[in-house]
């Protein structure tokens, strides 16, 4: 005969008292020390940091100081070993982030010409140094030159296979031997041609670009630049903005000179625009 077990009804009874959070019988009269409040203030300032390399350095620097103050506060209380451990670990992580970002910022350095290009064209648009580094890498950080009286492009012959920005010197733009306008530093050499073609299309210059002085410029190959646009849509939007802004500046530059009602001719690069004969176009803007 198998043994039987009899369970008494009171063996697994629960306590009749309901579970409640213990009430605080006495509040601390003295507030936390000044180090505790300083830590919170530093963290608040850190979380107000912006984007980019300098924003990250600002944020992690204040966070490092804040967590360091938390560590001091936790160490002064013998009953908060866990708080001290977490605060110190977060302090170490924040310091490591500051060192990492500072190293990356130092590694993003450019030649003076590229620094000037960034300051004149891209910095005012909020382009970060990391994105500008990708733009510079696309042109292999190469500075090209044009000797005086040498041509950058010849109408009807030179293919449109790159996008270029003049860094120094002055370029004279002509069509059929007649003067159109000048191109000055930090203006695109071929923005109308670039914007007139789709990525799959090919074309040739309809104007001649000749150097009035010794010129330097930077150029991005068409295919490599479109590959960069495919990987980084933000960079594509930035280039679309600066290229079309450059075209607009050229339009206004020609429009300022189109004052003679005796005759006009059409700019082949900007077909919808007409301007005046060469003698008046070559006059200074303030004359």
Q: What pLDDT digit, counting tens, does each position of 61-116 carry?
A: 999 999 999 888 888 776 667 888 888 999 999 999 999 888 877 766 788 889 89
Within 10 Å of residue 17's Cβ, how many Cβ atoms?
6
Q: Are residues 169 and 61 in the same domain?
A: no
Nearest to 180 by CA among 277, 88, 286: 277
Q: Which domain holds residue 211?
A: 112-281
Residue that is last in its domain, among 64, 82, 107: 107
Q: Are residues 227 and 277 in the same domain?
A: yes
For residue 261, what pLDDT is reported? Answer: 47
Q: Are residues 126 and 252 in the same domain?
A: yes
Judged by DSSP in three states, 6 sits in coil
Residues 201 and 238: their CA atoms lie apart, in Å, by 22
In a domain, 221, yes or no: yes
Q: Are residues 161 and 129 in the same domain?
A: yes
Residues 127 and 123: their CA atoms lie apart, in Å, by 6
Does residue 3 surpass a pLDDT of 60? no
Q: Are residues 275 and 175 in the same domain?
A: yes
For residue 274, what pLDDT is reported? Answer: 43
Task: Assess contact for 76 and 33: CB atoms under 8 A.
Answer: yes
Residues 92 and 65: their CA atoms lie apart, in Å, by 10
Q: Are residues 38 and 87 in the same domain?
A: yes
User: What are the distances in angstroms from CA 108 to CA 102, 138, 139, 263?
Assistant: 10, 15, 15, 53
For residue 268, what pLDDT is reported? Answer: 40
For residue 267, what pLDDT is reported? Answer: 46
In a domain, 16, yes or no: no
pLDDT grade, residue 276 (50/70/90)?
A: very low
The mean predicted confidence, pLDDT, of the chain is 80
CATH code of residue 208: 2.60.120.10
Q: Are residues 141 and 81 in the same domain?
A: no
In a domain, 19, yes or no: no
Residue that is last in its domain, among 76, 107, 138: 107
| H or E stretch covering 174 | strand 171-175
Judged by DSSP in three states, 69 sits in helix
- ∠ Cα 211 170 135 (to 5°): 100
Q: Are residues 83 and 54 in the same domain?
A: yes
Residue that is last in its domain, among 50, 78, 107: 107
Question: 25: which residues sit within 8 A by CB, 6+ positions away?
Answer: none
Q: What is the number of domains present in the chain?
A: 2
In a domain, 29, yes or no: no
In a domain, 155, yes or no: yes
In a domain, 237, yes or no: yes
Q: Which pTM was predicted? A: 0.59
In a domain, 4, yes or no: no
Q: Are residues 101 and 61 in the same domain?
A: yes
Q: Which residue reads 């130092």 in tokens?
A: 106
Residues 20 and 241: their CA atoms lie apart, in Å, by 63
Q: Are residues 274 and 165 in the same domain?
A: yes
In a domain, 13, yes or no: no
pLDDT grade, residue 229 (50/70/90)?
A: very high
Q: For 110-157, what is each residue's pLDDT tens digit?
A: 888 898 999 999 988 988 888 898 999 898 888 999 999 999 999 999
Nearest to 270 by CA among 212, 184, 195, 163: 195
Within 10 Å of residue 255's Cβ, how many Cβ atoms?
12
Q: Are residues 53 and 179 in the same domain?
A: no
Among the listed ranges 10-24, 28-42, 221-235, 262-276, which one has the minimum average pLDDT value?
Answer: 262-276
Q: Are residues 169 and 219 in the same domain?
A: yes
């Amino acid at each position: 005969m198998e043994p039987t077990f009899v369970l008494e009804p009171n063996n697994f009874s629960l306590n009749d008292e309901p579970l409640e959070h213990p009430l605080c019988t006495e509040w601390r009269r003295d507030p936390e020390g000044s180090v505790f409040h300083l830590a919170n203030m530093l963290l608040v300032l850190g979380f107000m940091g912006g984007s980019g390399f300098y924003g990250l350095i600002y944020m992690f620097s204040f966070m490092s100081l804040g967590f360091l103050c938390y560590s001091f506060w936790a160490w002064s209380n013998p009953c908060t070993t866990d708080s001290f451990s977490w605060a110190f670990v977060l302090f170490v992580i924040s310091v490591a982030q500051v060192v990492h970002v500072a190293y990356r910022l130092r590694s993003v350095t450019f030649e003076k010409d590229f620094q000037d290009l960034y300051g004149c064209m891209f910095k005012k648009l909020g382009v970060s140094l990391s994105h500008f580094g990708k733009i510079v890498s696309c042109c292999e950080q190469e500075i090209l030159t044009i000797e005086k009286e040498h041509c950058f492009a010849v109408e009807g012959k030179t293919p449109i296979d790159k996008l270029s920005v003049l860094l120094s010197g002055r370029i004279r733009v002509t069509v059929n031997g007649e003067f159109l306008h000048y191109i000055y530093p930090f203006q695109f050499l071929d923005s109308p041609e670039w914007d007139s073609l789709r990525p799959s299309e090919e074309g040739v210059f309809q104007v001649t670009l000749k150097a009035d002085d010794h010129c330097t410029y930077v150029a991005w190959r068409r295919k490599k630049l479109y590959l960069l646009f495919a990987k980084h849509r933000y960079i594509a939007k930035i280039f679309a903005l600066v290229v079309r802004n450059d075209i607009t500046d050229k339009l206004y530059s020609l429009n300022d000179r189109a004052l003679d009602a005796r005759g006009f001719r059409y700019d082949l690069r900007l077909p919808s625009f007409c301007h005046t004969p060469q003698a008046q176009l070559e006059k200074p803007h303030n004359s």
